[in-house]
Structure 1
């Protein structure tokens, strides 16, 4: 059992704890730290978590094997390095870091310390997304022309005006850091490295700044992509790949539905009846619990990192280019 400390006990930090506490045979949260302990004393008591007075106290505790960071984005790089140097395995919520220099330094620190390092891209671990990845990589869809994705929610209407998530230095490019980065990571995972990005943001319905972000992407292998995300629109999720032999998608906010439709062959394909889709339903799966469980098993068993470190770094480079594009209004080449 991996003994972990949660650092940052806001709503998402609590969600991470609740996903596995008392349910997993791989990871157990034994300690926590937050800037506002008075707000979470009851939660920690119910979950059997003792509150530490500082991050340093967490790092110096030999009974803690790993730290899970759900802290403001700008703190991630330094906290990862501190934890790695203390010999702790590290799981950090997305975005991994806000800048590529910090990402490289964090990865180097973890590699030098020999600890497992992972990031909260839980959607990679969902069976529906794995189905889509396998169909693309196996060639079942033929030559991929494009990948499209969308992720929307209504969180903008319920966020406190003093939340750090509203600070542009913490969440640049609209809702890229909050939700759009999931879409970018999924496309890197399924299609590969991104060469160029163009980003536009808009303030539509939410009360606090830009709430809508759209990206056009060009991949190194020639595939094109589009990602749309908003935290001020009806909740939805879709990830779809279009190929010469078929079309496949993951749909529904819970990602529970995978569909594959083979292409109609022949010159009259526009008038032919579309084949019945193959549909695979996965209900009740917690990708949040799965990402933490896989992280723990890697730490306990010495397995390969749950998400390749080069893909984590590339994702930060894409994030950096996207922020630059949103600011300049121009397409930007990804530097990595």
Structure 2
């Protein structure tokens, strides 16, 4: 089978991680790199073996590219997504797809009009562990959903760069908090809850001197269940996630995995005291999300089941509620 030809837009660190991942992809290979500064694209291409370089426009104008990975700053995602779709490319876009619900809806509308895949790149949603998690929650192994606890945070070091820049939609919630929030949305969906009924009920957070949210917490009403999430870019937080049901709970030491390995293990703890260790093979999660995008393209689908648009739209809405509550 011929490999799909990927173009990467953006020459930053996350794009480098995606380039490192593509050799582990079954369906695609790196073909082109675009950046605002062509010299950066050339340097990136030389480091990762891409034969084609150019500006964003030059790359999107080419007819020999099948799919585009958008790895730029948050505020540029929607415009580049729309341009790529209009140019006939499938798109895998780093989270968040848009900085607000309106941008997110515009990107999805562009994909619907183009009839092409658009996938939000929450890498933990792809691979054997994600499949097993959906199976456990959706198959009723936990019983009715009661509570979710999840957090993700790290110490960025200096308060500089895009994370601390309001002009690029920096801050903990959009950059890191979207992970636990997206997990909550996914678990609620797999458990059969109405996504339209999900609502942020209470928030807390700290706005730093740079003007962005540096740490934040939220409680989310899931309709018959609740979730508590935390995030930060100025201190580390536990990576443990607990999904509690009436029949059993699931403890996941690191549901997020890493940029090179998906999650491998969790513990199912039943109310009768018995425990079951869940162990699955790991994969390169960024390669897995790339392959999900190409499978959708080849099968004529616009969405990937791992992160359907209904969930992407709900995540965007709840992120806006969370951010608005501490602004």
Whole-Å separation in 1 of the counterparts to 2:232 and 2:16: 23
- Look up the match of 1:27: 28
Aligned residues: CA RMSD: 2.4
Distance 1:210-1:324 versus aligned 2 partners, 3 A rule: closer
- The count of aligned residue pairs is 310
Q: Deviations over 1:260-298 (max 9, x none)?
A: 01002xxxxxxxxx33x2112346432222111111121
User: CA shift at 1:208, angstroms?
Assistant: 9.1
87 and 26 in structure 1: CA distance in 2 versus 1, 3 angstrom threshold: same
Please list the CA deviations of residues 198-252 of structure 1 after superposition, one character each: whole Å capped at 9, or x if unmatched: 3222269x99964322111111x32100111223334641221111111112213
Deviation at 1:137, TM superposition (A): 1.5
Q: List alignment gaps of at least 5 residues for structure 1.
A: 265-273, 328-336
Query: Does the C-alpha gap of structure 1 residues 286 and 94 become closer, same or farther in structure 2, counting only changes over 3 Å?
Result: same
Displacement of 1:126 after TM fit?
Answer: 4.0
Contact map agreement 1:128 1:258 (CA 8 A) in 2: no
Alignment partner of 1:249 out of 241, 248, 251: 251
Deviation at 1:185, TM superposition (A): 0.9
- Which deviations, in whole Å up to 9, do the C-alpha atoms of 1:112-168 show, x marking residues without a partner? 1111100111111143343333222211111211111111223x1167x2x223212
The answer to which of 97-106 and 51-60 deviates more is 51-60
Question: Which has more radius of gyration?
Answer: 1
Partner of 1:240: 242
Equivalent residue, structure 1, for 2:157 = 157
CA drift of 1:97 comes to: 0.1
Aligned partner of 2:260 in structure 1 is none
- What is the 5 A alignment of 1:83-102? 83-102=84-103
Aligned to 1:270: none
> Per the alignment, in what secondary structure is the counterpart of residue 63 of structure 1?
coil
- Of 174, 184, 188, which residue of structure 2 is paired with 1:187? 184
Cα offset, 1:303, TM superposition: 4.2
Residue pair 1:149, 1:237 contacting (<8 A) in 2 also: yes
Deviations 1:157-199 (A, max 9, x none): 167x2x2232124335x40111110111111111132223432
1:68 shift after superposition: 0.8
The change in CA–CA distance for 1:325 and 1:134 in structure 2 (over 3 A counts) is same
Q: TM-score, normalised by structure 1?
A: 0.84
Q: Is the 8 A contact 1:239 1:249 kept in 2?
A: yes
SS in 1 for 2:59: helix
The answer to whether the aligner puts 1:178 opposite 2:178 as a matched pair is: no
Matched, 1:57 2:65: no
Between the aligned partners of 2:173 and 2:164, the Cα distance in structure 1 is: 12
Pairwise mapping of residues 94-113 of structure 1 onto structure 2 (< 5 A)?
94-113=95-114
TM-score where L is the length of structure 2: 0.87
Verify the 8 A CA contact 2:116 2:302 in the aligned structure 1.
no
1:2-41 to structure 2, matched below 5 A, reads: 2-20=4-22, 22-39=23-40, 41=42
